[in-house]
Structure 1
Amino acid sequence: MALSFVGCNDDDLKPTGITTKDDSDDDTNTNTEHTIPTYSDDYSPIASWADRGDWNLANVHDPSVVFDGTYYYMYTTDASYGNAHDGHGHFLYRRSKDLVNWEFRGLAMSETPAWVKDTLNNLRADVGLDPIANPSYGHWAPVVRKVGNKYRMYYSIVVDNFIGNGLFNTLANFDNTWSEHAFIGLMETSDLASNQWEDKGMVVHSVSDKGTDWSRTSYDSDWNGYFYFNAIDPTFQETPEGKQYLIYGSWHSGIACVELDPTTGKPFTYSGVADKGQRIATRVKSGYWSRWQGSEGPEIMYNEETGYYYLFLAYDGLDVPYNTRVCRATNIEGPYYGIDGANVTEGADCFPVITHPYKFNDHTGWVGFAHNAVFQNEETGDWFYASQARLPKDVAGINVSNAIMMGHVRKIRWTQDGWPVVMPERYTNAPDDLIEAEDLVGTWEHITLNYQYAVQQESVSLILNSSNEASGALAGNWSFDSDKNILTIGSTQLCVEREVDWEANPRKVTLIYSGLSDSGVSLWGKKTK
């Protein structure tokens, strides 16, 4: 049965363009019309619901971004500092014309659809379990895509009760069973601005190959997950041939890919385990295959210039170690390979790492930096990466600092070999004036994004001198291609952009780079002097 949802619009809220004119006398600031954001990365003073008009990119978690011809709309998980949004609906959303200033609009779903509870209890009845009168829900990770003349939102709802006794998931209630199903549903609208969605019901639910063996020996040390595919973290892709696919999965056994009926947006058939999709990515942990593995948040896109499908994955726990990986395939159903040639579909670790906990000087740095959206500006052709990033734990003066979830929108550039690299500073639409070789001469901070679990990679010094010699973090002769904005140091090519130095006080426009080393490790840098 289709249900209509009228979400919570905040039409009376003021836009969140908290910016200032760039009046720096730095020689890279050549566009006087460019504005530099001045909002604080610590948004705890404006975290209350009453201050939501000032949030801009505060309280962003698991974003999805779609363009309606006028605005970019961003939809996110039910998460906010102090749970300020509680009681106002589900799936926070905001919009922007420039990807810099975002207007908070409210929540897209007014209440949990009734089909979730009905379907859950029908599944329980099928295996002889009592119904759960008041399920505990989590609302997670929506993805929104334009399909034809409508917009589809695939969303996740997790039921956090134990399978056996149906009680809420706490240690005190633990009955040696796993927690219950997760579900992916579908809503549609023809007008994002209206925030009026028609719910189309279930698309997939978590599936197990263990029958009624949902036993768990320990609450916190048995990771032999009951479910094979976890119905959470959906993403969607339509191929150039017109086939449509849902890609989803979080922890458990890996990432699933299922073909959809373009008419309904749901699988063609839905009965056995095979109808829930085939596995296109999984993670080997410590040399053995695990049913409980730290990978989730798939995002998929097709780049017609390279001819590859790119699968982005979030690795590890979301609080601190979260990092973003990418692999690619010539067929959406795989197999997917990393930059090292290893087969991610068969369980190889995915490389390269393109975001990772990091720290430039004069700032706490960022952690928990993954579960991304990838989208393209259709007019300019520019590609963008959006995700949350968190402040580290125990930052002085900020209560529960690791719960600060700031949305980051960053530009993507592409290497000669067709791999995406994410820029090291957030996007502000900085001036694209010609960059010349002499502009690069000076002192830089350089970060090598080597993978280390829950460790922030910190910056070291790099000097580019006027004799075209590099020293410090990278050594060798350097040159610059001003037509392609490519800096080459030795054999390493780095994509250069003009962007804001967010760590400077006051913030100012500078030069930044991102690239991959010869061994496929991400390299970030920004000019400081």
Structure 2
Amino acid sequence: MILSSLLLPVFVTLLASFVSGSSVLGIRATSNNTYPLPMKLTGSGIYTHDPSIIYNEKSGYYYVFSTHGGVARSKALKGPWTAIGSYLPTGCSVVTENAGHCDTWAPDVVNINGTYFVYYSISQFGTQNSVIGVATSKTMEYGSWTDHGRVFSSKSGDQYNSIDANVIQADGKLLFTFGSYWADIFQFELAPSGLAPLSPSAPQLTHLVLNQTSPQSAEGGFIYKPPKSKYYYLFYSSGTCCAFDPAALPTPGNEYKVFVGRSENASGPFVGATGKPLTETGGTLVLASHGNIYAPGGNSVFWDPKSKRDVIAYHYRPRDDIRGDANSVLGLNYLDFSSGWPVLVA
């Protein structure tokens, strides 16, 4: 998410208040640090940030929702991808006290009982002055969205930051995962409507991820269960994101990357491949910079009914042309879960 590129010393200080006497731990990586290239995509809609991908079986279109409100669609994963405009073209009913804008971040789109919900974040860089809102549509077509406003918010002094929503249906419940920096990633149950917490006045929070390695706090949590697996997989991003200066890039390895943990329960506890809890920096590396792919992250995962394969969507910067969000490119790869852990494949 955008937030991770800013005010790292402040976040380190804040995060320390949640870490009890244990030593700072190194990043947990897999033994395989090579990755396949993403699919070769075509079309004007391949520029995206924090992509959330979904397939509409009625229309036959894939849709990708992006930070800053953009939506692109295509009849095939490889494109051509066409930008079709914002899902909130006239603005949103949710603004934070000081932000006063409708620049939406990190959308998450999900089909709940035949209605499409897109959860979006509005915030200010480096603050907890944040709110997550929701809009709904029956088709995902331009102009079809109804904005329902606030779902959940945060303020200065909270343990969490209310951005980067992800919603999954599991065991008859709607589970709402969120969080970025501070104490990282949390979860609570939504009401069946999907429009508010089950307990609006005091949602019962479950702590899912706490990464204690500065400056590698976690954000962008996304929970996915492959159709034939007994496990739920919690993906998240960590490292420096977004506002890159090509002349002063982060120390190699400190840029954005994707980690994962798994659990037989959608509310955790999630552990990495070594069995270490994600609340103790236990994540396992899934994807990092390689070749011309720099700082991949902000991912979503879905089951593609056409190929009958699991697909991961993420953004990255071309290493030979690192600029701002406008140059953030959609990456798509298939995932192989046969080992019990996700591995990117061509």
- TM-score, normalised to structure 2, is 0.78
Aligned match of 1:386? 313
Query: Equivalent of 1:188, from 133, 136, 157?
Result: 136
Distance 2:114 2:102 in 1: 31
AA paired with 1:257? Q
Does the 8 A contact of 1:259 with 1:268 survive in 2? yes
Give the stretch that moved more between structures: 193-202 or 405-414.
193-202
The reply to whether residue 238 of structure 1 matches residue 166 of structure 2 is: no
Query: Does 2:120 align with 1:155?
Result: yes
Distance 1:231 1:237 in 2: 17
- Contact kept? 2:121, 2:165, Cα under 8 Å: yes
For 2:84, the equivalent position in structure 1 comes to 105
The alpha-carbon deviation at position 248 of structure 1 amounts to 0.8
Correspondent of 1:410 among 328, 333, 339 = 333
Q: Distance in 2 between matches of 1:75 and 1:402?
A: 14
Instruction: Return the alpha-carbon distance in structure 1 between the equivalents of residues 258 and 322 of structure 2.
Output: 27
- What are the within-5 Å matches in structure 2 for residues 130-169 of structure 1? 132=98, 135=100, 138-159=103-124
Aligned pairs (5 A) from 1:317-336: 317-319=240-242, 321-336=255-270
Alignment correspondent of 1:284: 212
Letter matched to residue 283 of structure 2:
C
Letter in 2 for 1:61: H
Query: Conserved in 2, the CA contact under 8 Å of 1:62 and 1:371?
Result: yes
Shift of 1:263: 2.4
Offset at residue 114 of structure 1 (A): 3.2
CA contact (8 A) 1:137 1:159 kept: no
Structure 1 equivalent of residue 29 of structure 2: none
Structure 1, residues 121-174: CA drift from partner, whole Å, max 9, x if none?
xxxxxxxxxxx5x735542010111111210011101145xxxxxxxxxxxxxx
Q: CA RMSD in A?
A: 2.4
Counterpart mapping for 1:176-325 below 5 A? 179=127, 181-207=129-155, 226-239=157-170, 241-272=171-202, 275=203, 277-285=205-213, 294-319=217-242, 321-325=255-259
Contact 1:391 1:403 in 2 (8 A): no
Post-superposition Cα deviations, 1:396-454, rounded to whole Å, max 9, x if no partner, equal xx5848962111111111233x111112x5xxxxxxxxxxxxxxxxxxxxxxxxxxxxx
Gaps (5+ residues) in structure 2? 1-38, 243-249
Where does 1:29-44 land on structure 2 (aligned, <5 Å)? none
CA distance in 1, matches of 2:94, 2:273: 42
Residue pairs, 1:357-396, within 5 angstroms = 357-359=289-291, 365-392=292-319, 395=320
Residue in 1 that maps onto 2:44: 55
Distance 1:414 1:150 in 2: 29
Cα gap change, 1:136 to 1:189, in 2 (>3 Å): closer
Unaligned runs of 5+ in 1: 1-35, 40-53, 79-90, 121-131, 161-177, 208-213, 215-225, 287-291, 360-364, 426-529
What is the SS of the residue equivalent to 1:358?
coil
Whether 2:52 is the aligned partner of 1:64: answer yes
The CA deviation string for residues 86-114 of structure 1, in whole angstroms up to 9 with x for no partner, is xxxxx101111110111211111124323
Specify whether residues 194 and 106 from structure 1 end up closer, same or farther in structure 2 by C-alpha distance, changes over 3 A only: closer
1:138–1:159 CA contact under 8 A, matched in 2 = no
Tell me, yes or no, if the aligned pair for 2:45 and 2:73 is still in contact at 8 Å. no
Residue number among 75, 79, 86 corresponding to 2:65 in the alignment: 75
User: 1:65·1:74 contact (CA, 8 Å) conserved in 2?
Assistant: yes
- Per-residue deviation at 1:293? 5.3
SS, match of residue 114 in structure 1? coil
- Partner in structure 1 of residue 20 of structure 2: none
Amino acid at match of 1:299: F
Higher relative CO (Cα under 8 Å, sequence separation at least 6) belongs to 2
Aligned match of 2:26: none
CA contact (8 A) 1:186 1:201 kept: yes
The one-letter code matched in structure 2 to 1:71 is: Y
Cα distance, 1:407–1:115 mapped onto 2, change above 3 Å: closer
Q: Give the number of the structure whose alpha-carbon radius of gyration is greater.
A: 1
**Which whole-Å deviations, capped at 9, do the CAs of 1:215-274 have from their partners, x for residues lacking one?**
xxxxxxxxxxx33111111111001x22111111111111111111112432112224xx
| TM superposition outliers: structure 1 runs of 4+ over 2 Å | 36-39, 111-117, 134-138, 378-381, 398-404
Please name the residue that 1:482 is paired with.
Answer: none
Match of 1:109, SS state, is coil
Matches of 1:399 and 1:282, distance apart in 2? 29
**What CA distance in whole angstroms lies between the structure 2 residues aligned with 1:330 and 1:402?**
36
> Percent identity among equivalent residues?
24
* Structure-to-structure mapping, 1:326-475, within 5 angstroms: 326-344=260-278, 346-351=279-284, 353-359=285-291, 365-392=292-319, 395=320, 400=323, 404-416=327-339, 418-423=340-345, 425=346
Q: Structure 1 317/190 Cα, relative in aligned 2: closer, same or farther at 3 Å? A: same
SS at the partner of 2:141? Answer: helix
Paired residues of 1:136 and 1:159 also in contact (CA < 8 A): no
